Amino acid sequence: MDYKFLVNGFEILARYEEEDIKEIFIPILRNLIHLQSQKARRIIVFVSAPPAVGKSTLVAFLEHLAEERLGNNNIQGVGIDGFHFYNDYLISNRLKDKKGAIDTFNISKLNKALESIQSSNEYWPIYDRNLHDPIEDQIFIDKQIIILEGNYLNHVDWQQLKKYCDYSIFIRADKDILKERLISRKIRGGLTEKEAIHFYENSDRKNIEEVLNNTIKTDMELSYDGKNYILGGIL
């Protein structure tokens, strides 16, 4: 089935197979609803994957699916790209060409934000791919099940965030699929094909390898082949 979402300033048309919806996504949502009911408080789910797997679109879809199929409007999908350092900081610290790498995120700011939403509703920033910068106070977090997505959420170097995570999911994908998607994304964002390929080779490719090689064990693992999701090991 086809779905349309606004993600990071772009209108995205996404297709999810009915088999995946019934066998993977609905059971995930039911599990999270049950977990939140057991804990009787807000829960936070970490969804991580290499760049261009489609994490932002997937969490938007899960939020939509929960309401459409399960009648549950208490799930909210949100990303961490708004916690990138601003371009002026990246330029002054010679990090602009590495944008998207783990050290181009403001982990201290993200840590404080996660701590804050444990007990209160908060506005969060987004990353706008048209402006190529974060925009503050764009999403009001007010649901009891927060599905948080980001490349490095389950990274070995970000284990300081693990105390905020109630359930974790990792999605694997083939590097060639990700390469094609990342280059296309950069072209849509205004780069020439040559510039997009250069950025991939000097930044995105390294980030893919960083995520695939340094993600800790998660509660659930999925694989994505560009069309279908395949269920991995559930702990």
pLDDT, one tens digit per residue, over 148-168 is 999 999 999 999 999 999 999
> What phi-psi label fits residue 190: left (phi over 0), alpha (psi between -120 and 50 degrees) or beta?
left
> 230 in a domain, yes or no?
no
Is the pLDDT at 234 greater than 50? The verdict is no
As a whole number, mean pLDDT of residues 179-191 equals 88
> 172 in a domain, yes or no?
yes
Is the pLDDT at 235 greater than 50? The verdict is no
> 37 in a domain, yes or no?
yes
Is the pLDDT at 233 greater than 50? The verdict is no
Angstrom CA distances, 60 to 3, 12, 175, 202, 224, stand at 10, 11, 23, 29, 17
**Considering the chain, what is the average pLDDT of its residues?**
91
Q: How many helices (H) and strands (E) does the chain have?
A: 8, 10
Is the pLDDT at 171 greater than 80? The verdict is yes
Total domains in the fold of the chain: 1
Q: What CATH number has the domain bearing residue 183? A: 3.40.50.300
pLDDT at 128: 85
Domain that includes residue 66, residue range: 2-225
> 231 in a domain, yes or no?
no
Geometric angle at alpha carbon 157, from 153 and 162, rounded to 5°: 50
pTM confidence score: 0.90
Is the pLDDT at 116 greater than 90? The verdict is yes
